[in-house]
Chains A and B, each alone.
Chain A
Amino acid sequence: GENVEQHPSTLSVQEGDSAVIKCTYSDSASNYFPWYKQELGKGPQLIIDIRSNVGEKKDQRIAVTLNKTAKHFSLHITETQPEDSAVYFCAAYSNYQLIWGAGTKLIIKP
Chain B
Amino acid sequence: SQTIHQWPATLVQPVGSPLSLECTVEGTSNPNLYWYRQAAGRGLQLLFYSVGIGQISSEVPQNLSASRPQDRQFILSSKKLLLSDSGFYLCAWSVLAANNSPLHFGNGTRLTVT
Residues of A within 8 A of B (CB): 4, 6, 9, 31-32, 34, 36, 41-46, 49, 89, 91, 93, 96-103
Residues of B within 8 A of A (CB): 41-46, 49, 59, 90, 92, 97-99, 102-103, 105-108
Name the B residues within 8 Å of A31 (CB-CB).
Answer: 99
Q: Return the contact of A42 from the options B41, B97, B107 (Cβ within 8 A).
A: B107
Q: Return the contact of A97 from the options B42, B59, B105, B106 (Cβ within 8 A).
A: B59
Name the B residues within 8 Å of A99 (CB-CB).
Answer: 43
With contact pairs A9-B41, A43-B92, A103-B41 given, residues A98 and B98 touching in the complex (Cβ less than 8 Å): yes
Whether B99 lies near A43 (C-beta < 8 A) is no
Residue picked from B90, B92, B103, B107, most chain A C-beta under 10 Å = B103
Q: Return the contact of B102 from the options A34, A100, A101, A103 (Cβ within 8 A).
A: A34
